[in-house]
Every structure is written in structure tokens, then in C-alpha cells.
Amino acid sequence: MKDIKDGRVPMRGVNIGGWLVAERWMTSASPAWNGVPDTIANLGEYKTMQYIGHAKGDMQFKQHRDTYITEQDFRDISAAKMNTVRIPVGYWITGFDNHPGGDPNGWKVYAPGAINYLDRAIREWAPKYNLLVLISLHAAKGSQNGNDHSSPADPGKSHWSSYPENVQNTLDAVEWLAKRYSTNDVAFLGIGLLNEPSGTTNEGVLKQYYYDAYGRIRLFSDCLLTVSPLLYQQGPYSSDWASFMPPPQFHGVRHEWHRYQIWGYEGWSTDRLISYAQNELRNDISEWKGNWLFIGEWSIASSASFNDYDLRLYAQAQINAFKGATGGWTYWTWKFYNDDGSMNAWSMKAMVNRGFIQL
């Protein structure tokens, strides 16, 4: 833990995507979506629960959470030589909203009980298998990006920064999570303060939120905190992020990038993708001059058709590039629902088992 916080050891890990913030595209076989049209399920957990209601939905999401990720997954992640899991959560996991405005009862739409699974991950499974947990605030009130993985009440729209009650709710949520786990939980590494802010999210409001979250949490905890720029600001010279929250005034902060060679890279050949990872990606990371860099999401999935040899080369090129990121990385994602034995490049479990990702 201290070695990772102090930058002597990088995070080497994987996301537990689609578990406590459900995403249908990677869990289509899950009971969570039973009786839900794809057009609604693809909008995320809020619209799904709004459609099926608590009478059915609570049990379906309980079954989803019980069966998708189990202790065996933590055992397998540890066996794959990982040291960290990044777990996406939604603001509703707290079970409260103290800021009327917008939809003060929005959190009640969701199936209750997600916190019990996060507790188990941090307090039982992670310490048992020598793993650390980084919580990712993936879904904020009002939605910070409008995408299904932020579970928007108004799909496609990002209202988070437009209304102070949304931001205040997010501050309450990250403070509450940090307080819950900071004192006695040895596997609690820290919190990603906001996942992939984009759309109409205001950069000034976002930065002030990071300052405020840091100020609240540092009153009682030195847990790791990651700050994410706007999604289109994933480069070394984007805005003034390289001078944002600098040490020694601020400590224990990582700057989080998500570097996927997928959207905007359609039609690229395998050779071009490998070359990009070996050159542009590596150079962007080496040219970064701000807080220690953490690659919170990446993948070897792409629109290209890789043969086995080139896919290994592509994975290794990205891992080599990330050696310049002192904070390390977490792959997206550990697995899809019921994808044992698959060749799915989104699934780290499949890629490790087949020897495409080697550490």
C-alpha cells in the first residue's frame, strides 16, 4: 500500500466493470436484464430499474451482483499477478441524497444493497488475496457524461456540472466512501473522484470539485485520489492540467487518463495500431509533466483483426508505454458475464488465460 502511494510500485490491475454499475453490453447474459428491452437496457441501470421496478428489479440485480463477480475472481486476479482492482460505483451506493433539487429521490430508483458487495470486496476478498481496491465514482448524480456507464436519468445528457446540488451530492458521496474505509480497511487504496467527465461538463466546475473533494477527504484520510480531465483532454498538453493540484501543496494525487485505440481509430491496420502504441502513446506518457500518471482504463480490444502474434505484440507495446506512468494502470475489464473460454479482447481474464497479456 505505502509503496504504491509513494510511487515506488505502480498499480498493476484491472477494472471490475459492469458489476456495481451495470452495463448491458458486457453483461447481456445477466439476469439483471430479464424482461427489459435492449433499447432500455442499453441506457443503463437507472432506466432499467425505472422500467421493471423494485418488485422484479431488486431480485434481478441481487442475482446479478451475486453471480457476476465472486471470491473466485479475486483469487484469479491475484494469481494473474495483479495488485489492484478498480471498482466502479454509483452515487446511489451511499443510500442517501442530502441535497434537494434535480431529482432528490433518484437514488431510490436503484436496487438497494450494492454497498454490501463493495464492503465484501474491500474487507474480505481483497485482503485475503493481497489486492488493493481503488473505488471509481463512475456514476454521479445528474450524469457527468450521459453514457450508460454513468446511469443517466436523461440519457445522452450530462447535467452534473450545471446544478450545484449534483456536485454537492458527489462531494458527499466520495467523502462518505473515504470515511467508511479509511480507518481500518487495509485493502482500501483510494478513490477515483469522477470517471470520464465529458459532454457539457464544465471544466471550471470540475476542477473546483476536485479541490473541494481533496479538502474534505484530507481532513481525515491520506488515501490515494485520482483526478480525471475531460475525456477529450487525454494528452500531455491538454488545457493546464499538468500544473493542476501540484505537490507538495497537494499530495497523494494521480492524474488519470483513459487511452483506448478504439473510437476514432476505426479502420486502422494492426501494424499502425502497434506503431502508435510504440511511439505516440509512449511519447505522450513520457512528455506528461504533472502529477504522477495513472492509466485507469485501457484495452487491447480494437476494430482491427489481429493474429495471435500481433495481438501479443500490441499488448506488450501498450504495457511498455505505460511503464512511463508512475501511477501504473488498470485494464478494462476483468471479464464479461459468462465469457469463460472466450477470445474476447475486452476480457483481461480471457487474454491472460490465452497468453496475450504477459507481465
Per-residue pLDDT of the chain (359 residues; tens, 9 = 90+): 889 999 999 999 999 999 999 999 999 999 999 999 999 999 999 999 999 999 999 999 999 999 999 999 999 999 999 999 999 999 999 999 998 777 889 999 999 999 999 999 999 999 999 999 999 999 999 999 999 999 999 999 999 999 999 999 999 999 999 999 998 899 999 999 999 999 999 999 999 999 999 999 999 999 999 999 999 999 999 999 999 999 999 999 999 999 999 999 999 999 999 999 999 999 999 999 999 999 999 999 999 999 999 999 999 999 999 999 999 999 999 999 988 878 999 999 999 999 999 88
What is the predicted pLDDT for the residue at 103?
A: 84
| Closest by CA position to 87, among listed 145, 151, 144, 17 | 17
CATH of the domain at 325: 3.20.20.80
Tell me the residue length of the chain.
359
Query: Torsion angle, CA of 245/251/252/253, rounded to 10 degrees?
Result: 10
Cell digits for 280? Answer: 505516440
Tell me whether residue 49 is in a domain.
no
Instruction: Give a yes or no: residue 35 inside a domain.
Output: no
Is 34 among the domain residues? no
The pLDDT value recorded for residue 101 is 79
Looking at residue 71, its pLDDT comes to 98
- The CA–CA distances, whole Å, from 218 to 49, 168, 176, 178, 183 equal 35, 17, 13, 10, 13
Residue 211 lies in a domain: yes
Phi, psi of 113 (to 5 degrees): 100, 0
CB atoms within 10 A of CB 2: 7
Q: Would you say residue 52 lies in a domain?
A: no
Query: Long-range contact list for 348-354, CB < 8 A, 24+ apart?
Result: 348/14, 348/80, 349/73, 349/76, 349/80, 351/300, 351/315, 352/80
Distance of CA 212 to the CA centre of its chain: 21
Residue 29 · residue 338 · CB < 8 Å: yes
Q: Tell me, what DSSP letter sits at residue 228? A: -
- Examine residue 77 and state whether it is found in any structural domain, yes or no: yes
User: How many domains are contained in the chain?
Assistant: 1
How many other CB atoms are found less than 10 A from the CB of residue 75?
14
- Return the pLDDT at 351: 96
Q: 10 Å Cβ neighbour count for 57? A: 22
List, in sequence order, every residue forming a beta bridge with 87; answer none if it has no partner: 135
Task: Determine, yes or no, domain membership for 55.
Answer: no
pLDDT at position 348: 97
In a domain, 261, yes or no: yes
Note down the domain range covering 291.
1-20+62-354
Place of cell 466493470: 17
